[in-house]
Amino acid sequence: MATDQLSVTFAALADPTRRAILARLAEGEATVNEVAEPFAMTLPAVSKHLKLLEHAGLITKGRNAQWRPCRLDARPLQDAAAWVERYRRHWEESFQQLDEHLRTMMKRTKE
Amino acid sequence: MATDQLSVTFAALADPTRRAILARLAEGEATVNEVAEPFAMTLPAVSKHLKLLEHAGLITKGRNAQWRPCRLDARPLQDAAAWVERYRRHWEESFQQLDEHLRTMMKRTKE
Protein backbone atom coordinates (compact mmCIF):
# COMPACT_ATOMS: atom_id res chain seq x y z
CA MET A 1 0.00 0.00 0.00
CA ALA A 2 1.28 3.43 -0.96
CA THR A 3 1.39 5.88 1.90
CA ASP A 4 2.24 9.21 0.31
CA GLN A 5 -0.51 11.83 0.77
CA LEU A 6 -1.34 12.16 -2.93
CA SER A 7 -1.82 8.36 -3.28
CA VAL A 8 -3.97 8.33 -0.12
CA THR A 9 -6.11 11.17 -1.55
CA PHE A 10 -6.61 9.48 -4.94
CA ALA A 11 -7.37 6.12 -3.26
CA ALA A 12 -10.01 7.84 -1.10
CA LEU A 13 -11.64 9.27 -4.25
CA ALA A 14 -11.63 5.88 -6.05
CA ASP A 15 -15.08 4.94 -4.75
CA PRO A 16 -18.51 6.33 -5.78
CA THR A 17 -19.92 6.18 -2.22
CA ARG A 18 -16.99 8.15 -0.78
CA ARG A 19 -17.30 10.75 -3.56
CA ALA A 20 -21.05 11.02 -2.83
CA ILE A 21 -20.28 11.49 0.90
CA LEU A 22 -17.86 14.33 0.09
CA ALA A 23 -20.47 15.91 -2.22
CA ARG A 24 -23.03 15.72 0.64
CA LEU A 25 -20.61 17.32 3.13
CA ALA A 26 -19.77 20.07 0.63
CA GLU A 27 -23.33 21.31 1.28
CA GLY A 28 -22.69 21.48 5.03
CA GLU A 29 -21.73 19.38 8.06
CA ALA A 30 -23.82 16.33 8.93
CA THR A 31 -24.02 13.54 11.51
CA VAL A 32 -23.08 9.97 10.58
CA ASN A 33 -26.81 9.09 10.46
CA GLU A 34 -27.53 12.00 8.13
CA VAL A 35 -24.61 11.04 5.89
CA ALA A 36 -25.76 7.40 5.82
CA GLU A 37 -29.43 8.17 5.02
CA PRO A 38 -29.34 8.26 1.18
CA PHE A 39 -27.24 5.08 0.89
CA ALA A 40 -28.61 1.53 0.68
CA MET A 41 -25.91 0.48 3.11
CA THR A 42 -25.57 -0.55 6.73
CA LEU A 43 -24.35 2.09 9.19
CA PRO A 44 -21.08 0.15 9.81
CA ALA A 45 -20.38 0.12 6.06
CA VAL A 46 -20.86 3.90 5.87
CA SER A 47 -18.75 4.36 9.03
CA LYS A 48 -15.92 2.44 7.37
CA HIS A 49 -15.99 4.87 4.41
CA LEU A 50 -16.08 7.84 6.82
CA LYS A 51 -13.06 6.48 8.75
CA LEU A 52 -11.10 6.11 5.49
CA LEU A 53 -12.01 9.69 4.48
CA GLU A 54 -11.04 10.95 7.95
CA HIS A 55 -7.72 9.06 7.73
CA ALA A 56 -7.12 10.70 4.32
CA GLY A 57 -7.69 14.11 5.92
CA LEU A 58 -10.73 14.81 3.74
CA ILE A 59 -13.19 15.02 6.63
CA THR A 60 -12.97 15.98 10.29
CA LYS A 61 -15.30 15.10 13.16
CA GLY A 62 -16.63 17.73 15.55
CA ARG A 63 -15.49 17.53 19.19
CA ASN A 64 -18.94 17.76 20.76
CA ALA A 65 -19.45 14.34 22.39
CA GLN A 66 -23.23 14.52 22.01
CA TRP A 67 -23.24 15.50 18.38
CA ARG A 68 -20.10 14.82 16.37
CA PRO A 69 -20.83 16.20 12.92
CA CYS A 70 -18.67 15.25 9.94
CA ARG A 71 -17.20 18.21 8.13
CA LEU A 72 -15.50 18.39 4.73
CA ASP A 73 -11.83 19.38 4.66
CA ALA A 74 -11.11 19.88 0.97
CA ARG A 75 -7.48 20.96 1.43
CA PRO A 76 -5.88 17.64 0.27
CA LEU A 77 -7.81 18.05 -2.99
CA GLN A 78 -5.67 21.05 -3.96
CA ASP A 79 -2.59 18.88 -4.64
CA ALA A 80 -4.75 16.30 -6.44
CA ALA A 81 -6.17 19.03 -8.71
CA ALA A 82 -2.69 20.46 -9.36
CA TRP A 83 -1.38 17.02 -10.33
CA VAL A 84 -4.22 16.27 -12.76
CA GLU A 85 -4.22 19.80 -14.25
CA ARG A 86 -0.67 19.30 -15.55
CA TYR A 87 -2.16 16.97 -18.19
CA ARG A 88 -4.80 19.42 -19.46
CA ARG A 89 -2.83 20.20 -22.63
CA HIS A 90 -2.56 16.47 -23.36
CA TRP A 91 -6.26 15.65 -23.05
CA GLU A 92 -7.24 18.75 -25.01
CA GLU A 93 -4.93 17.64 -27.84
CA SER A 94 -6.35 14.08 -27.70
CA PHE A 95 -9.94 15.30 -27.95
CA GLN A 96 -8.97 17.62 -30.81
CA GLN A 97 -7.33 14.74 -32.70
CA LEU A 98 -10.42 12.58 -32.17
CA ASP A 99 -12.60 15.43 -33.42
CA GLU A 100 -10.48 15.86 -36.58
CA HIS A 101 -10.49 12.09 -37.15
CA LEU A 102 -14.31 11.98 -36.92
CA ARG A 103 -14.68 14.95 -39.28
CA THR A 104 -12.42 13.25 -41.86
CA MET A 105 -14.41 10.03 -41.58
CA MET A 106 -17.75 11.84 -42.00
CA LYS A 107 -16.43 13.72 -45.01
CA ARG A 108 -15.34 10.42 -46.60
CA THR A 109 -18.75 8.88 -45.91
CA LYS A 110 -20.48 11.80 -47.69
CA GLU A 111 -18.22 11.61 -50.74
CA MET B 1 -14.12 -3.24 -6.48
CA ALA B 2 -15.79 -0.21 -8.02
CA THR B 3 -15.97 -0.30 -11.79
CA ASP B 4 -17.22 3.14 -12.79
CA GLN B 5 -14.70 4.99 -14.99
CA LEU B 6 -14.02 7.80 -12.49
CA SER B 7 -13.20 5.28 -9.71
CA VAL B 8 -10.95 3.33 -12.09
CA THR B 9 -9.13 6.56 -13.02
CA PHE B 10 -8.60 7.65 -9.40
CA ALA B 11 -7.48 4.11 -8.42
CA ALA B 12 -4.93 4.17 -11.26
CA LEU B 13 -3.56 7.49 -9.93
CA ALA B 14 -3.32 6.19 -6.33
CA ASP B 15 0.25 4.95 -6.78
CA PRO B 16 3.48 6.98 -7.07
CA THR B 17 5.03 4.60 -9.66
CA ARG B 18 1.99 4.82 -11.94
CA ARG B 19 1.96 8.63 -11.65
CA ALA B 20 5.69 8.68 -12.51
CA ILE B 21 5.03 6.45 -15.55
CA LEU B 22 2.32 8.86 -16.78
CA ALA B 23 4.70 11.80 -16.23
CA ARG B 24 7.35 9.98 -18.29
CA LEU B 25 4.90 9.27 -21.13
CA ALA B 26 3.73 12.91 -21.10
CA GLU B 27 7.18 13.68 -22.54
CA GLY B 28 6.66 11.23 -25.41
CA GLU B 29 6.00 7.57 -26.21
CA ALA B 30 8.40 4.94 -24.87
CA THR B 31 8.94 1.17 -24.90
CA VAL B 32 8.29 -0.91 -21.78
CA ASN B 33 12.06 -1.14 -21.24
CA GLU B 34 12.45 2.63 -21.48
CA VAL B 35 9.55 3.18 -19.08
CA ALA B 36 11.03 0.65 -16.62
CA GLU B 37 14.56 2.09 -16.68
CA PRO B 38 14.34 4.72 -13.89
CA PHE B 39 12.55 2.38 -11.45
CA ALA B 40 14.21 0.04 -8.96
CA MET B 41 11.69 -2.62 -9.97
CA THR B 42 11.57 -5.83 -11.95
CA LEU B 43 10.22 -5.65 -15.51
CA PRO B 44 7.16 -7.81 -14.57
CA ALA B 45 6.33 -5.37 -11.74
CA VAL B 46 6.46 -2.41 -14.15
CA SER B 47 4.44 -4.39 -16.73
CA LYS B 48 1.74 -4.94 -14.11
CA HIS B 49 1.48 -1.17 -13.55
CA LEU B 50 1.37 -0.59 -17.33
CA LYS B 51 -1.44 -3.15 -17.73
CA LEU B 52 -3.47 -1.42 -15.03
CA LEU B 53 -2.92 1.97 -16.71
CA GLU B 54 -3.89 0.48 -20.09
CA HIS B 55 -7.03 -1.06 -18.55
CA ALA B 56 -7.89 2.37 -17.10
CA GLY B 57 -7.57 3.86 -20.60
CA LEU B 58 -4.69 6.11 -19.55
CA ILE B 59 -2.16 4.55 -21.92
CA THR B 60 -2.34 2.79 -25.26
CA LYS B 61 0.15 0.42 -26.88
CA GLY B 62 1.33 0.85 -30.47
CA ARG B 63 0.33 -1.83 -32.98
CA ASN B 64 3.80 -2.43 -34.41
CA ALA B 65 4.69 -6.00 -33.34
CA GLN B 66 8.43 -5.25 -33.28
CA TRP B 67 8.23 -2.10 -31.27
CA ARG B 68 5.10 -1.52 -29.24
CA PRO B 69 5.56 1.88 -27.65
CA CYS B 70 3.40 2.99 -24.72
CA ARG B 71 1.60 6.26 -25.30
CA LEU B 72 -0.22 8.52 -22.85
CA ASP B 73 -3.97 8.96 -23.32
CA ALA B 74 -4.87 11.74 -20.90
CA ARG B 75 -8.57 11.89 -21.84
CA PRO B 76 -9.89 10.09 -18.71
CA LEU B 77 -8.11 12.76 -16.63
CA GLN B 78 -10.55 15.42 -17.84
CA ASP B 79 -13.44 14.00 -15.77
CA ALA B 80 -11.12 13.51 -12.79
CA ALA B 81 -10.03 17.16 -13.01
CA ALA B 82 -13.65 18.33 -13.35
CA TRP B 83 -14.68 16.34 -10.27
CA VAL B 84 -11.87 17.67 -8.08
CA GLU B 85 -12.26 21.27 -9.34
CA ARG B 86 -15.79 21.45 -7.92
CA TYR B 87 -14.18 21.65 -4.46
CA ARG B 88 -11.84 24.55 -5.24
CA ARG B 89 -13.99 27.08 -3.35
CA HIS B 90 -13.94 24.78 -0.31
CA TRP B 91 -10.18 24.31 -0.13
CA GLU B 92 -9.54 27.98 -0.79
CA GLU B 93 -11.86 28.86 2.13
CA SER B 94 -10.11 26.28 4.35
CA PHE B 95 -6.65 27.68 3.59
CA GLN B 96 -7.95 31.22 4.20
CA GLN B 97 -9.39 30.21 7.59
CA LEU B 98 -6.09 28.55 8.54
CA ASP B 99 -4.23 31.69 7.50
CA GLU B 100 -6.49 33.92 9.61
CA HIS B 101 -6.16 31.54 12.55
CA LEU B 102 -2.33 31.65 12.35
CA ARG B 103 -2.32 35.45 12.09
CA THR B 104 -4.51 35.73 15.21
CA MET B 105 -2.23 33.33 17.10
CA MET B 106 0.91 35.25 16.09
CA LYS B 107 -0.68 38.55 17.11
CA ARG B 108 -1.52 37.09 20.53
CA THR B 109 2.04 35.78 20.97
CA LYS B 110 3.45 39.26 20.25
CA GLU B 111 1.10 40.99 22.71
pLDDT of residue A9: 98
For residue A1, is pLDDT > 70?
no
Q: For the segment A79-108, what is each residue's pLDDT rounded down to a tens digit?
A: 999 999 999 999 999 888 888 989 999 999
The average confidence (pLDDT) of chain A is 91
Long-range contacts of B56-65 (CB under 8 A, 24+ apart): B56/B8, B56/B9, B56/B11, B56/B12, B57/B5, B57/B8, B57/B9, B58/B9, B58/B12, B58/B22, B59/B21, B59/B22, B59/B25, B62/B29
pLDDT of residue A40: 87
Subunit contact B83:A19, Cβ cutoff 8 A:
yes
ipTM of this model?
A: 0.88
For residue B23, is pLDDT > 90?
yes
pLDDT of residue B95: 86
Subunit contact B90:A84, Cβ cutoff 8 A:
no
Selected residue of A84, A89, A96 to mutate for chain B interface (largest B Cβ count, 10 A): A84
